[in-house]
Amino acid sequence: MSVNPELRRLDIDIPSQPHALVQLSLLLAEENINLQAASSLIETDMALAAAVMKAVNSSLYGLKGRVQSVHQAITYLGMREVAAITFEMGLRAAFPPAAELEPIWQRAGYRGLLMGRLGSRLSLDAWAAHSAGLFEECGKAVLFRHAPDHYGAMLRAAGNDTELVLLEHAGFGVSHDALGAALCESWGLGAAAVSSVRHHVTAQATQVLPEDVSRRSICALSVLAQVMGAAPQTLDEVVAAIAPQADLDAILVLRAARQIQDQLDSAAANGR
């Protein structure tokens, strides 16, 4: 998919998708995924495979024993979660290491996992949900790479993403949600993930899903993940507001959210 011409005129570079992720995307698009081929593909990039293994063995995934290979990780976690971890590591590697970006990557990994598992529990497109969560803030990394000092100051000055978007428009003529959606398009992610990334700031701030968003349920999961991380005490009321807009059963959504949160909390506690 091509990047919006309006964004090209702003002279802000969007990194290309790493070759290994291009090949992995093609494998994931197959009806019957060849798990051995997928694990072999990841392992051909030693740095990427090492990063994936480090992530898989972190406390976030709560595995009882240490995983020794990518194929073993797929056996324990499933192809979707391992593919998402691979995309997460590939996304990180597309940008220079920076302390300012580390909180963004940490939130991305957790949010992607949360949205992917919610999607799976609710019989939605779990891959679209996981990738939408992972790429949600990637536009911030694009702007930071473009102007690290200027954008670093914006990150420190903004109290929330709504304020940050205003600063971004004033300083660059574009906001991180639009850039993130453009990066998703250029990396070949599906329309539902692109739409969720493009609209997440407004949806999270207003708890109103845009009418024209592709598959509103994925954007709804973005709102739920944000609340679960930032204000879990409001989860009941947010679910009651968001679920009907996406044609989801509020009771099932709330049950799934609580069960997944308990799983992740337990994994984190056992990993300490």
Per-residue pLDDT of the chain (272 residues; tens, 9 = 90+): 344 555 555 678 889 988 888 888 888 888 788 888 988 988 888 888 888 888 888 888 877 778 888 888 888 888 888 988 889 989 999 999 999 999 999 999 999 999 999 999 999 999 999 999 999 999 999 999 999 999 999 999 999 999 999 999 999 999 999 999 999 999 989 999 999 999 999 999 999 998 877 689 999 999 999 999 999 999 999 999 999 999 999 999 999 999 998 888 887 777 64
Q: Which residues of 221-256 are buried (b: 16+ CB within 10 A; e: fewer)?
A: bbbbbbbbeeeeeebeebbebbbebbebeeeebbeb
- Helix 46-56, helix 35-44: angle, nearest 10: 110
d(CA 29, CA 115) in angstroms, rounded, equals 20
Q: Are residues 86 and 180 in the same domain?
A: no
This prediction has a pTM of 0.88
Same domain, 258 and 128: yes
Whether residues 69 and 104 share a domain: the answer is no
Predicted pLDDT of residue 1: 38
Same domain, 220 and 151: yes
Task: Tell me: do 147 and 252 sit in the same domain.
Answer: yes
Domains in the chain, number: 2
pLDDT given for residue 122 in this prediction: 96
**Pair 194, 149 in one domain:** yes
* Contact criterion met (CB below 8 Å) for 110 and 84: no
d(Cα 270, Cα 103) in Å, to the nearest integer? 22
Residue that finishes a domain, picked among 38, 73, 93: 93
Q: Does 122 lie in the same domain as 83?
A: no
Where a domain ends, among 93, 111, 145? 93
pLDDT at 2: 43
How many secondary structure helices (H) and strands (E) does the chain include?
A: 16, 0
Q: Which one of 93, 108, 130 terminates a domain?
A: 93
Neighbours of 117 (CB within 10 A): 24
32 and 167 assigned to the same domain:
no
HEC readout, 37-61: HHHHHHHHCHHHHHHHHHHHCCHHH
Distances in Å between the Cα of 271 and the Cα atoms of 59, 66, 240 are 5, 12, 33
Regarding whether 73 and 21 lie in a shared domain, the answer is yes
pLDDT of the residue at 146: 93
Compute CA distances 100 → 61, 106, 247, whole Å.
25, 11, 38
**pLDDT score for 271:** 62
- Quick count: other Cβ atoms within 10 Å of Cβ 207? 17
Sequence-separated (6 or more) residues with CB below 8 Å from residue 167 = 154, 157, 158
Residue 3's pLDDT is what? Answer: 44
Q: What is the CATH number of the domain that holds 132?
A: 1.10.3210.10
Domain identity same for 104 and 141: yes
- Asked whether 167 and 211 are in contact (CB, 8 A), the reply is no
Contact 103, 193 (CB under 8 A): no
Tell me how far CA of residue 23 lies from CA of 27, 44, 71, 92, 191, in angstroms: 7, 12, 17, 18, 19
- Pair (87, 103) in one structural domain: no
Give the structural domain span for 253. Answer: 1-15+98-272
* Claim to verify: residue 51 and residue 140 sit in the same structural domain: no
By residue count, the chain amounts to 272
